[in-house]
Structure 1
């Protein structure tokens, strides 16, 4: 703890000795010193703030904003505790003499004082909340709670008017009015009114004739005595509401402001404002500020706005070259092309080389578009006339029903026959590989004697089942007439000969076709005839 406090004090001294311009530039040393000083101050004030959610200030890994929020968490309950303690000391000044400032070596005294503070803070938690609410109500003049209290006080004042005039009136005193000052002011006004009555009459006689005539016309001079009597009675019975308005009227503050604004528009009121400008109250000054703001806003609405605030504006409705001075936002229908730089080109080349080395080619594979439904089966209809008569058809159906052997083969039977044929072929190939040593000899019904067979047959490597025809050479199988030549190797006479042979073949085929058609036509005529 001693090292921490020494480091904190040293950091505070260093910050105090640092010149202000150095704080404008980023400096890690000053930042570290500020963090150390904040941590020291936080830990030193933590015992006096029992409601602080943090035991110590967390600095490592936190930025300035987060550290400031931690300090703010400690400051709020500390300020409320100090405010409550100060109020207690103001109410009971005797407690100030009992407080003792703890020395550096007096740890026990310091602990006792801290314990007292903690007990008081724990005991006055509810009072703290109520006092905070009262402070907020004092700051907000239009609070609902204050209005209720003022209404209750006003009702009491209406019930006990005579008693309140003789009392000091501490309950209605506020920052606008004090009863003692009001009493002195009323007494002074009465004296001035009694002493200056004659002077006022003399001044009125010295006024212009036009003004006196107007007063005579309106009958103002006849009622001077009555007005004076009423004014004396009003001054004697003056109350708080006569100067600052009824407290119930605060609820209808907006209506009062509207009426006052309309009154200020008159010329007579403007003259009175000029005369009483030096002695205007805070409320009147506030109304003047509001009125000036309203006038400024009305003037701004009446004046012509800039072309940028008029919505869609064409070139003819705005000043020349005015669009050059403004940053305009407009939409692009086409995406702008990327800027090609050396870095972009180098990165693309590196990617291509890497893909080539790795053999990683991710070409887009087209997805085959399959039809949602399979093609419909096309049924072919035979338009030819049946060659069988009804008698033959009925005969075949009857035979199939009576004789099961003559029935048509089913699909399974066809598969069985196909499998048996494949198995026979496989067995034949296996027997050929073994030279038919294990195969039974086929039964030969007809025997014939051949005399031209050689007496001795040489044994060959080929299997016995292989025929001699498969072992013949191509020229032994087909022996053409003469040498086979290509088209370019033929002579002129050979080309003519080949062309004549082709013509003869074509003529023979054409003759066969005509003869066949003639025969078919004759048969049809016979059938139809």
Structure 2
């Protein structure tokens, strides 16, 4: 059962390999099914190398492409971190590569057969890598074919000697048996607790990868990507040191290519992060990009068309010719002559010819919306009336309006009212005065404001009318009378101000009264002195006489 599934997966991979790239852009059920089978085969083949994968197999039935990709991503994340860590260790310590066990020539045929099958299956995966190697080798061959041939012969001799001495089969790269044994050893060490330190490092790297998915730890991801790119472009000589000169050249070329491909790696990393991002993260990215565009539009200088009134000195030369400007015309624009307008005019002409109407259309006169303005005539002649007569006429007109002479307007009004009355009288006569209002007859009525019955009040003779008045008749206050506790703060202030005002007025009266009394007293004293002097003079005169 497993062999049949593996064969189906290999066939699916070959089908995808043979398919032209444009075919992937069109919907094809057969191609989609082959891609699902190939993905399932690759997932199951990589399952032994990723023990931390949460899924035992890839579920493709009833799942869409996004869900299948998420399952593959769950497996590839821990696998990539493990491979990166192990390759980094091998790069730092090349001696560990030489310690790997190599199978002898007398190995089992089954192992060789499984190795051959694995190599055939991995041909599809390493085709791109082989093509790059062939291209690089072709370039190197063109640069110096003679030197390479000598180096290759020497390397072959050395390899032959090694094979004869050790009795082993030399492969181009790692043996599958060595890889499986090494992985089994690592799993045993991990189970026995010997790989605790490496597990902590792996957890740290996984956390950094998760942070990188959310935009955190970009520097670590960039370093890992650079190392992975350098490892992917590594060759056999970089690990085993068979060809030193070519290995050094290859390393220099790898470093140079990695420097030039930094920007491309960043772009690919951004695409991968966008592909693995959720719908909410994509929506946030769109909103952030819109915000950045709006902020950039606000910060950037405005064009001259968006700056309001712009003179010729503030805009580029001949820039107004490239823009459709709007002008305000005070005159009504001429009607646009179209085929419909001409056809309607022709129909009207034909109709008037048939009906025989050759007269011009008479325009309806417009009624004046405003009354005509009264034109006043100025008289330059000198008035024959004096100023006193003019004042007399004005006074008479004010006191007796009937005596004023009627103006031309008043005469027209009187004439119009008389004509209207005659017309109403004739109309009422036609209806026998049924709808005419009856005249109002004023009846004279004499009303004597005297009580019908005069009654005497029983009261003492000594009591006056003022004593018989009610309190509200004696004192009619302006407002409601309130006690001191019922008054508000504003009312207390007004009452206090009134009291002060009255007190000041009484004080002024007192001072004025005292002043008047002083004046009167001084006058009386002066008169008294005069009388005394007069009496003294009179008495002296009498004495002399």
- TM tier, smaller: under 0.3
CA displacement, residues 214-251 of structure 1 (integer Å, 9 cap, x when unaligned): 99999999999999999999999999999999999999
Aligned to 1:418: 415
CA displacement, residues 314-360 of structure 1 (integer Å, 9 cap, x when unaligned): 99999999999999999999999999999999999999999999999
Q: Structure 1 residue 13: deviation in Å? A: 0.2
Q: Which moved more, 1:88-97 or 1:503-512?
A: 503-512
Q: Which moved more, 1:32-41 or 1:85-94?
A: 85-94
Kindly indicate whether the alpha-carbon contact (under 8 Å) linking 1:48 and 1:78 is maintained by their aligned counterparts in 2. Answer: yes
CA distance in 2, matches of 1:199, 1:451: 130
Kindly indicate whether the alpha-carbon contact (under 8 Å) linking 1:435 and 1:465 is maintained by their aligned counterparts in 2. Answer: no
CA distance in 2, matches of 1:124, 1:420: 116
Kindly indicate whether the alpha-carbon contact (under 8 Å) linking 1:137 and 1:145 is maintained by their aligned counterparts in 2. Answer: no
CA distance in 2, matches of 1:435, 1:282: 93
Q: Which moved more, 1:305-314 or 1:118-127?
A: 118-127
Within 5 Å, which residues of 2 pair with 1:91-170? 91-99=92-100
SS at match of 1:197: coil
Kindly indicate whether the alpha-carbon contact (under 8 Å) linking 1:173 and 1:179 is maintained by their aligned counterparts in 2. Answer: no
Q: Which moved more, 1:391-400 or 1:18-27?
A: 391-400
Change (3 A) 1:30 1:456: farther
Q: Structure 1 residue 91: deviation in Å? A: 3.2
CA distance in 2, matches of 1:133, 1:500: 115
Aligned to 1:7: 8
CA displacement, residues 61-106 of structure 1 (integer Å, 9 cap, x when unaligned): 0000000000000000000111121122223323323446999999
Change (3 A) 1:370 1:470: farther
Change (3 A) 1:336 1:101: farther
Could you tell me which runs of 5 or more consecutive residues in structure 1 were left unpaired when the two chains were aligned. Answer: none
Change (3 A) 1:466 1:76: farther
Q: Structure 1 residue 36: deviation in Å? A: 0.2
Give the TM-score normalised by the residue count of structure 2: 0.23
Kindly indicate whether the alpha-carbon contact (under 8 Å) linking 1:89 and 1:96 is maintained by their aligned counterparts in 2. Answer: yes
SS at match of 1:84: helix
Q: Which moved more, 1:117-126 or 1:36-45?
A: 117-126
Q: Which moved more, 1:459-468 or 1:27-36?
A: 459-468
Change (3 A) 1:505 1:457: same
Q: Which moved more, 1:264-273 or 1:85-94?
A: 264-273
CA displacement, residues 454-495 of structure 1 (integer Å, 9 cap, x when unaligned): 999999999999999999999999999999999999999999
Q: Structure 1 residue 128: deviation in Å? A: 28
Change (3 A) 1:472 1:74: same
Q: Which moved more, 1:447-456 or 1:266-275?
A: 447-456
CA distance in 1, matches of 2:301, 2:413: 102
CA displacement, residues 23-52 of structure 1 (integer Å, 9 cap, x when unaligned): 111000000000000000000001000100
CA distance in 2, matches of 1:435, 1:203: 123
Q: Does 1:225 align with 2:226?
A: no
Aligned to 1:390: 387
Give the TM-score normalised by the residue count of structure 1: 0.23
Change (3 A) 1:490 1:123: closer
Q: Which moved more, 1:322-331 or 1:373-382?
A: 373-382
CA distance in 2, matches of 1:270, 1:14: 30
Change (3 A) 1:34 1:515: same
Kindly indicate whether the alpha-carbon contact (under 8 Å) linking 2:90 and 2:97 is maintained by their aligned counterparts in 1. Answer: yes
Name which structure has the greater RCO, CA cutoff 8 Å, separation 6+: 2
SS at match of 1:353: helix
Change (3 A) 1:260 1:387: same
CA displacement, residues 281-302 of structure 1 (integer Å, 9 cap, x when unaligned): 9999999999999999999656
Aligned to 1:28: 29
Instruction: Count the aligned residue pairs.
Output: 524
Q: Structure 1 residue 310: deviation in Å? A: 10
Kindly indicate whether the alpha-carbon contact (under 8 Å) linking 2:44 and 2:57 is maintained by their aligned counterparts in 1. Answer: yes
Kindly indicate whether the alpha-carbon contact (under 8 Å) linking 1:50 and 1:121 is maintained by their aligned counterparts in 2. Answer: no
Q: Which moved more, 1:479-488 or 1:320-329?
A: 479-488
Aligned to 1:191: 188
Aligned to 2:176: 179
